[in-house]
A and B are shown apart, each in its own frame.
Chain A
Amino acid sequence: MTNHKLNTGRRRFLKTGAATAMALSAPAILRAEGTGAIRVGMPTILSGVVSILGESSVAGAKLVFDEFNASGGLDGRKIELITRDSRAKPEEAAKAVRDLVNGDGCNIILDAEASSGSFAVQEVIKSIGALCLHTVSEATPLSADPALHAPTAFRSARQGIHDAIGGGAYAAAVAKEKGLKRWATCSPDYAYGRTTTAEFMEYAKYFNSDIEVIGQAWPKLFQPDYTEVITRILQWRPDALYSALWGGDLVSFIDQANLYALFDQTETFSVNLGDYPVLTAVEQLPNGMRSGSRYNKVVPNTPENNAFYDAYVAKFGTLPTNWSWENATAATFVIEALKDVGTDDPVKLAEAIRGRTIASPFGVDGTLTMRAEDHTLTGYAVGYGVTTAEEPFMKDFHTSSWEQILELEADWKKRQGFA
């Protein structure tokens, strides 16, 4: 009797287990084989204080993919974008990529992770060989350091050293014109903040040897109160201030510094100010702050860029960000390569992307190039402008010379042992 009950229970358990397994696996099978879609995976940050990074990254890629799908896709095959929230954890980003490739059948990864996550993803890509475009990380070594190189990995995002050279040249010129010799910096206390600041000041001094750094403040990431930092900067009495603060931190800093009239007393250069979410979140945007290029409808001021802005706003109801154009660019490279090779084979796609030049609204001359030697993007808008309180929030934009950037970048690479 007892045995009979046990047997019945075991059979029922096995049947239930099998049915559950079938039910759980069915959607995956349907997705994988029924539609024949080309699957593109995107690990990114969709929760927490920087969720806007993930949201605008998804939107940027989706805008391009949806347009491609609407025009018929690749011989009828549509592109399906599958996202995974890594919660800004490198180990989750690495696992998400493995899941997307091994579980969801994605041969193409758009890695919309911040720096540390992107390094983790790069290592996974080295071992599993999927096509990967890093769409957010600006950390220079990711593509510049040959030790980190992966044959199927590229970067469609800005690169820190490019902005540093362009920004340094601009700052040096303004400093000469206005006699700004005593500089202070205020950047977030982590690798990005320290590296970006060091590189910017290095090139500012390179172009103008009169520049002297008299004080550096390193507030913590996501620090709510900047009073102490602001009063310290005021005590230093600098002629100019450089900041690599970004996102909500930059908004808080500007709002609080406005109370002390900091920006009336010093010329401010903020590499990350010129992004719509920041510009629109600041309560009183001071006129005359100098901002690096992120994304702006008028930089470059071309019908193609204006059309991208309008299409993005119409589709998503929000303003595009720096991450939006970087992901839209990655999506465009993927589509162009797919059209060329007709398959989502990662090695063939990588061959097609390496050294490729695409027509793009974000290129200074209407094109962007994926440099063959280190798989990084060149030709995008680098430079600084002056902020205004009204749309488009930017005027007198100075576009940096790519000839100069590439020359100094090559020299920098040699000094770092990267070339």
Chain B
Amino acid sequence: MTRSTTRNALIALAALVVLLALPHLGGGEKLADYIIFAAAWGLLATGLNLLIGYTGLISFGHAMFFASGAYSFGAIMQAQIMPVPLAIVAALIITGAIAALIGAICVRLSEIYFAFLTLAFQMFFHSILLSWVDVTGGDNGLLGGIPTPVFFGVDLNQPEHLYAFCVTVTVLAMYLMHRIVSSPFGFTLRMIRDNERRAIFLGVNVFAVKLTCFVLSAVFSSVGGIILALFISGAYPDFAFWTTSGEAIFMVMLGGLTNFFGPILGALILTGLNDIVVTYTDHYGLFLGGIILLFSLGLRKGVLDFVKPGGRKSTPAQPTADAKEATHADA
């Protein structure tokens, strides 16, 4: 284990401790609810950013994986055939299989063609959720709640246990994603993003790398779906609708796509704004739209896009530090 790996593991552990302590320091269940909700969206956005920010592939269909995680997990738990941890693993495998199938078709394309094909698959998936009533519950979603029997002393019906479980899973998923983007595989993704032809000339199997990234991105996004399904004890077709993908893309743009923590910051900001706006006014669209407009016109890029390692401000023209590292590594 290298020094940076140990340091990152310790940081993740410290983050987990802080998150576990937060509701007890003030805010209580409301704060815990907010963190769980933002964590679910944050994982969707961070998973999506593996494609957008690191590989240069803009997927408009990632909500389908968010939904597939939620539905697979919910349906397995309703069938009462396995405990929670195994059901989560099974849901991730199902999502990974779906993503491999769809990704094998989509990653052959790029730019707008890739974006629209993912959108098309998402709408197809959404239609299946609506039509396959016996399994998915159709418009009404998975009815009857998601039973969560106790495992290893963890009772997810208890709010404290649910919170601790959700933040632990979130931190673990974030840590794994960080390991991935910091690995040679992560640098290869950036190289493909910056100059795909160069990567091909250097002998990189671009299709395989893109497909692997697509599957990993889908699997991590589906963890977000599982957390949301646990939180609201249900899964709904709305999870797979194109507006959900749109919100995830906006979170990425809002938080910053060149920084690993940008998307989760975007999720925290957007869900926080959402909470404030619906609490103090009924004119949701007007206020949130105005705030988003200010962000878009005022910042023109994500919040963390302004921050570079070492505290210096970045400029759009500069290549990212990671891209430089990748170039050096490959050279």
- By a beta-carbon cutoff of 8 Å, the part of chain A in contact with chain B is 21, 46-47, 54, 83-85, 87, 89-91, 94-96, 98-99, 102-103, 115-116, 119-120, 123-124, 126-127, 139, 141, 145, 147-148, 190-192
CA distance A376 to B9 in the complex (A): 53
B278 touching A96, Cβ below 8 Å? yes
Top 7 A-B residue pairs of the complex, sorted by shortest distance between their CB atoms: A103-B30, A94-B232, A191-B139, A102-B29, A123-B233, A90-B236, A123-B145
| Selected contact of A148 from candidates B144, B157, B284, CB within 8 Å | B144
| Selected contact of A102 from candidates B33, B157, B237, B285, CB within 8 Å | B33
A191 touching B138, Cβ below 8 Å? yes
CB-defined contacts of B228 to chain A, threshold 8 Å: 91
A47 touching B284, Cβ below 8 Å? yes
11 other A-B residue contacts (CB within 8 Å) besides A95-B231, A102-B30 = A47-B285, A84-B279, A94-B231, A99-B275, A115-B140, A120-B236, A123-B145, A147-B143, A190-B138, A190-B139, A191-B133
B33 touching A90, Cβ below 8 Å? no
Majority-rule SS of A interface residues: helix
Residue B238, interface by CB 8 Å? yes
| Selected contact of B282 from candidates A46, A96, A148, CB within 8 Å | A46
Residue ID in chain B nearest A84 by CB atoms = B278
Residue ID in chain A nearest B238 by CB atoms = A89
CB-defined contacts of B239 to chain A, threshold 8 Å: 91
Interface string of B26-39 (1 = CB under 8 A from A): 10111001000100
B30 touching A119, Cβ below 8 Å? no
B232 touching A95, Cβ below 8 Å? yes
B311, chain A: closest CB distance, angstroms: 12
A188, chain B: closest CB distance, angstroms: 10
B256, chain A: closest CB distance, angstroms: 22
CA distance A116 to B239 in the complex (A): 12
Interface centre among A85, A87, A124, A145 (most CB of B within 10 A): A85
CA distance A123 to B285 in the complex (A): 27
CB-defined contacts of A47 to chain B, threshold 8 Å: 282-285
What's the A-B contact tally at a CB cutoff of 8 Å? 92
Size of chain B's interface in residues, with CB distance under 8 A?
32
CB-defined contacts of A192 to chain B, threshold 8 Å: 139
A59, chain B: closest CB distance, angstroms: 13
A123 touching B139, Cβ below 8 Å? no
- By a beta-carbon cutoff of 8 Å, the part of chain B in contact with chain A is 26, 28-30, 33, 37, 130, 133, 138-141, 143-145, 157, 228, 231-234, 236-239, 275, 278-279, 282-285
B141 touching A83, Cβ below 8 Å? no
CB-defined contacts of A190 to chain B, threshold 8 Å: 130, 138-139
CA distance A127 to B140 in the complex (A): 19
B233 touching A91, Cβ below 8 Å? no
A322, chain B: closest CB distance, angstroms: 20
CB-defined contacts of B238 to chain A, threshold 8 Å: 89-91, 116
CB-defined contacts of A148 to chain B, threshold 8 Å: 143-144
10 of the cross-chain contacts (CB-CB < 8 Å) are: A84-B279, A89-B236, A91-B239, A94-B231, A95-B232, A99-B33, A115-B139, A119-B141, A148-B143, A191-B138
Q: Check A116/B141 contact, CB under 8 A, given A95-B37, A102-B29, A102-B33.
A: yes
Residue ID in chain B nearest A118 by CB atoms = B140
Residue ID in chain B nearest A117 by CB atoms = B236
B234 touching A120, Cβ below 8 Å? yes
B284 touching A87, Cβ below 8 Å? yes
A116 touching B284, Cβ below 8 Å? no
A139 touching B232, Cβ below 8 Å? no
CB-defined contacts of A139 to chain B, threshold 8 Å: 140
CB-defined contacts of B282 to chain A, threshold 8 Å: 46-47, 54, 83, 85
Interface centre among B139, B157, B233, B275 (most CB of A within 10 A): B139
B33 touching A98, Cβ below 8 Å? yes
| Selected contact of A127 from candidates B30, B157, B275, CB within 8 Å | B157
CA distance A109 to B143 in the complex (A): 20
A124 touching B143, Cβ below 8 Å? no
Residue ID in chain B nearest A98 by CB atoms = B33
A102 touching B232, Cβ below 8 Å? no
Residue ID in chain B nearest A150 by CB atoms = B145
CB-defined contacts of A96 to chain B, threshold 8 Å: 278
CA distance A260 to B30 in the complex (A): 55
CA distance A110 to B59 in the complex (A): 39
CB-defined contacts of B141 to chain A, threshold 8 Å: 90, 116, 119-120
Residue ID in chain B nearest A25 by CB atoms = B26
| Selected contact of B234 from candidates A87, A119, A147, CB within 8 Å | A119
